[in-house]
């Protein structure tokens, strides 16, 4: 998985240089980035099918690929942080998770621009290259820096209104909120202690599968915000064991305020 992520990352790095040049063109880089995304996914698919014939896939571009091995399935995002990539911002990642018998087993997140490989396997811990990771130990909200993601263009207006209520509840309660534009890296940074927590709604399995393994193996807690299946809803909250219930409480306050206001 690491070899596949690095190979895809080399392709993305080459294309990223071209995207920076395309910023000044009238056409813009959107079509080029789409092709870069597909190239990276093809590289990952080729590497992993050769290494593990028969494994299935869930991929952002290809969708579901059924394998002859019904126990194992890779969950792949070849380019997480597409909008950053599109605008020539060097904060994007390759994300590969492995699910076995319905349970997440392994995760790899490759920060291409910084050449950082985050990886974790259930029972073996979480690592940044060869350095073992541990979630931050902060216990109080007013000390915590949290990451999130904003709803994108085209999402219904109520989703934006709900997010605004969450930000209004979180901002005065924390040391700071960050929005960097890559859920995979946000989760990797929670595992590394760079962020104290992360929440976002409506994500896809390929955005978060690898990161979930990283946070859990680094000693953190990952759950669906309302208590459901996080891979189905994409409503994710990740933090250490002390902060997780505190962040959840703030999110619930924001939701209750919205209902009371009739939103």
Q: In terms of domains, do 153 and 120 share one?
A: no
Please name which of 39, 207, 212, 214 lies closest in space to residue 116, comparing C-alpha atoms.
214
pLDDT digits (tens, 9 = 90+) for 159-215: 788 889 999 999 999 999 999 999 999 999 999 999 999 999 999 999 999 999 999
Q: What is the CATH number of the domain that holds 214?
A: 3.40.190.80
70, with CB counted inside 10 A (0-12, 13-18, 19+), is: exposed
Q: In terms of domains, do 127 and 236 share one?
A: no
84, 19 contact by CB (below 8 A): no
The parent domain of residue 237 ranges over 141-260
pLDDT digits (tens, 9 = 90+) for 123-139: 999 999 999 999 999 99
Q: What is the pTM of this model?
A: 0.92
How many domains does the structure of the chain reveal? 2
Q: How far does Cα 80 stand from its chain's mean position?
A: 7
Both tokens of 20, joined, read 């920076």
Q: In terms of domains, do 123 and 150 share one?
A: no
Q: In terms of domains, do 223 and 152 share one?
A: yes
Is 60 in a helix, a strand, or coil? coil
With cut-offs at 50, 70 and 90, classify the pLDDT of residue 257.
low
Sign, CA torsion 237/197/201/215 = negative
pLDDT digits (tens, 9 = 90+) for 67-89: 999 999 999 999 999 889 888 89
Window from 48-62, 83-97, 141-155 with minimum mean pLDDT: 141-155
């Amino acid at each position: 998985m690491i070899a596949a992520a690095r190979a895809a990352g080399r392709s993305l790095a080459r294309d990223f240089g071209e995207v920076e040049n395309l910023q000044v063109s009238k056409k813009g880089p959107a079509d080029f980035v789409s092709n870069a995304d597909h190239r990276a996914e093809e590289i990952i698919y080729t590497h992993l099918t050769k290494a593990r014939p028969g494994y299935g896939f869930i991929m952002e571009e290809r969708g579901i690929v059924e394998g002859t091995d019904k126990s194992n399935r890779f969950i792949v995002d070849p380019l997480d942080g597409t909008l950053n990539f599109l605008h020539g911002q060097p904060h994007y990642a390759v994300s590969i998770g492995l699910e076995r018998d319905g349970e997440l087993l392994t995760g790899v997140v490759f920060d291409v621009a910084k050449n950082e490989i985050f990886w974790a396997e259930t029972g073996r811990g979480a690592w940044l290259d060869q350095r073992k990771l541990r979630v931050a130990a902060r216990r109080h909200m007013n000390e915590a820096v949290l990451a999130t993601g904003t709803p994108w263009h085209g999402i219904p207006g109520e989703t934006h209104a709900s997010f605004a209520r969450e930000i209004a509840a979180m901002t005065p309660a924390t040391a700071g909120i960050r929005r960097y534009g890559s859920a995979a890296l946000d989760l990797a940074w929670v595992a590394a202690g760079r962020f104290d927590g992360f929440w976002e709604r409506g994500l896809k399995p390929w955005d978060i599968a690898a990161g979930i393994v990283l946070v859990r193996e680094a000693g953190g807690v990952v759950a669906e915000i309302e208590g459901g299946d996080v891979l189905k809803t994409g409503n994710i909250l990740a933090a250490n064991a002390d902060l997780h219930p505190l962040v959840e409480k703030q999110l619930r306050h924001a939701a209750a305020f919205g209902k009371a206001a009739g939103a």
